[in-house]
Amino acid sequence: MAEFQAVVFAAGRGTRLPEVLGDAPKCLLPVGPYPLIWYPLNLLQQHNFSEVIVVVLEQEKLEIQSALENTPLKLRLDYATIPSDGDFGTADSLRYIYDKIKSDFLVVSCDLVSNVSLYPLINKFREHDAALAMLLFPSGFESDVVMPGPKSKHKPERDLIGIHAATQRLAFVSAASDCEETLNIQRHLLKNRGRLDVYSRLVDAHVYVLKKWVIDYLRRKENISTFKGEFLPHLIKKQHSKRPPKTVQDTTSEVGVVTKNEDHVLHYVGHTILDQKITQTSLFNQSLSQSPYHGDIVRCYGIQAPRDAIGVRVNNTLSFLAINRKLASIWNNLCGEKHPLISPGAVVKSTQTKEIIAADNAKLSEKTSLNFSVFGPNCIISPKNIVANSLIMSNAIVEEGCNIDNCIIGHRAQVKSGSVLKNCIIGPNYVVEEGTHSQAVHLSNADQFMEIDIQ
């Protein structure tokens, strides 16, 4: 993939994962035997990328770097740090690493877990000389998973995505919460463009293929802070921009036409002399209204992943729980047999296990019954424990004689001996006192104790 660079965003603060995150970096949340960020990096490695730019917070770089050095990755990782005390959105971060981008590039979020082939997305981008191509998944991966803790109704964030059926051109992307009872569609989005499908149950995978000129343009748009919420809708709208009338011809440059207005998006499009010759000799060279692009020089595409592909963004506690719950059953399709579910660095002395996953340096003692559970790095499960359908996170400790069923035990939490927990969330760094019996509660240092009845 020498044609493209790859950028993985791993500087998110995980504000939608308060129940499990604590003070750990979001990208190091345990998903099976590896940290979350390993999965998009492994996906890029499978697509023959040899080097990836990883955007991280400055204060988290060493921790992330150390964690990834203990995984079976062969990529060269170029860590681009952004200030930890700054309020950087994803668009801000792209501007900050501008000097590192030398070619067309992929942007991938650190919270993607998928086995989808990226080649159809990349080929669509190449075929139509697109400004942007984005990957979309069907929603519903976590629909059959019930959260432990107090009963609450999960309201997923949804987008409204308009796609022209015949061409896969994006017409618009907007948050469903921004629309009230009606969705207004501008007439020009329908004229001469065929059927427009509007989806409300597609998930933006946060995988984007972008032209180099896009980051040149973004660099000047300093008022835009986020990529998904602000820049993506902005760029899609610019598909219908027409080239300003005042232009100058530059025959000495590769760029054949340059507008004097540097704030106009079309100033940045590489409409080269070669592009013009191709257009002149094209079979489609009749009129703009009859051309395949209707005169649009900026083109954006939305590509849907196959329905049987695995695809989830681990960006909230429910999706985090869902991927860990389902990981054992989808592992071979996701990662292949060469990556074991039990890390070579894990110490598993228990002889009563069924469908467990253990990360590096997890210590699972003898005389334990461990079933359908995930054990994060450096966790300790003492003897005489029963753990079922649960997620024990990194550096958590479960002392002797506990019974844990359908629970999340948070980062650095401690469950003292003789405790019985069912359908509970134990927050990061929380200490469950000896002999505690709790059901359907969320115990944390912030909220202390909250309980509701299960109907």
Domain ranges of the chain: 5-179+186-242+267-282+291-323, 340-450
pLDDT for the residue 147: 86
The residues near 227 (Cβ < 8 Å, ≥ 6 apart) are 89, 90, 91, 94, 107, 208
> Beta strand pairing status for 431-432 and 414-415?
parallel
pLDDT for the residue 296: 82
Q: Higher pLDDT residue, 396 or 274?
A: 396
325-334, long-range: CB within 8 Å, 24+ apart, which pairs?
Answer: 325/145, 325/372, 325/389, 325/391, 326/141, 326/145, 327/31, 327/32, 327/357, 327/374, 328/32, 328/355, 328/356, 328/357, 328/372, 331/32, 333/115, 334/39, 334/113, 334/114, 334/115, 334/310
> What pLDDT, in 10s, does the model give residues 408-417?
999 899 999 9
Residue among 386, 349, 358, 347 nearest 370 (CA):
386
Specify whether the CB–CB gap between 221 and 235 falls below 8 A.
no
Query: Would you mind telling me the total number of residues written for the chain in this entry?
Result: 455
pLDDT for the residue 337: 72
pLDDT for the residue 419: 97
Q: Higher pLDDT residue, 250 or 199?
A: 199
> What pLDDT, in 10s, does the model give residues 312-342?
999 988 899 999 989 988 999 998 777 889 9
Q: Higher pLDDT residue, 122 or 17?
A: 122
> What pLDDT, in 10s, does the model give residues 192-216?
677 899 999 999 999 999 999 999 9
Look at residue 9 and tell me whether its pLDDT is greater than 60: yes
> Taking all residues of the chain, what is their mean pLDDT, rounded to a whole number?
86
pLDDT for the residue 53: 98
Token duo for residue 135: 């990957």
The CB-side HSE value for 372 (13 A sphere, CA atoms) comes to 11
Average pLDDT over residues 279-284: 46
Domains 5-179+186-242+267-282+291-323 and 340-450 share a fold: no
Residue among 258, 326, 311, 10 nearest 134 (CA):
311
Q: Which secondary structure element, helix H or strand E, spans residue 66, and what is its range?
A: helix 61-69
> What pLDDT, in 10s, does the model give residues 341-366?
999 999 999 999 999 999 999 999 99
pLDDT confidence of 279, banded at 50, 70, 90?
very low
pLDDT confidence of 454, banded at 50, 70, 90?
very low
Rounded to the nearest 5 percent, the helix, strand and coil shares of the chain are 25, 30, 50
Please give the Cα distance from 7 to 5 (Å, whole number): 7
Q: Higher pLDDT residue, 17 or 271?
A: 17
- Determine which of 49-53, 62-66, 248-252, 332-336 has the lowest per-residue pLDDT on average: 248-252
Tell me the CATH number for domain 5-179+186-242+267-282+291-323: 3.90.550.10
> Beta strand pairing status for 132-138 and 300-304?
parallel
Cα dist from 185 to 19, 60, 193, 195, 229, whole Å: 39, 43, 13, 13, 19
pLDDT for the residue 19: 74
Average pLDDT over residues 1-18: 86
Look at residue 250 and tell me whether its pLDDT is greater than 60: no
pLDDT confidence of 58, banded at 50, 70, 90?
very high
Specify whether the CB–CB gap between 15 and 63 falls below 8 A.
no
Please give the Cα distance from 328 to 312 (Å, whole number): 15
Look at residue 274 and tell me whether its pLDDT is greater than 50: no
> What pLDDT, in 10s, does the model give residues 109-130?
999 999 999 999 999 999 999 9
Q: Which pTM does this prediction carry?
A: 0.86
**Backbone dihedral region of 126: left (phi > 0), alpha (psi from -120 to 50 degrees) or beta?**
alpha
Task: Let me know the angle formed at the C-alpha of 13 by 301 and 27, rounded to the nearest 5 degrees.
Answer: 75
pLDDT for the residue 184: 79
pLDDT confidence of 27, banded at 50, 70, 90?
very high
Residues of the chain above pLDDT 90, percent: 64
pLDDT confidence of 244, banded at 50, 70, 90?
low
Look at residue 242 and tell me whether its pLDDT is greater than 50: yes
The SS3 of residue 265 is: helix
> What pLDDT, in 10s, does the model give residues 137-178?
998 888 888 889 887 766 778 899 999 998 999 999 988 877
Looking at this protein, which amino acid is placed at residue 368? T
Fold of the domain spanning 340-450: UDP N-Acetylglucosamine Acyltransferase; domain 1 (2.160.10)
End-to-end CA distance of the chain: 54
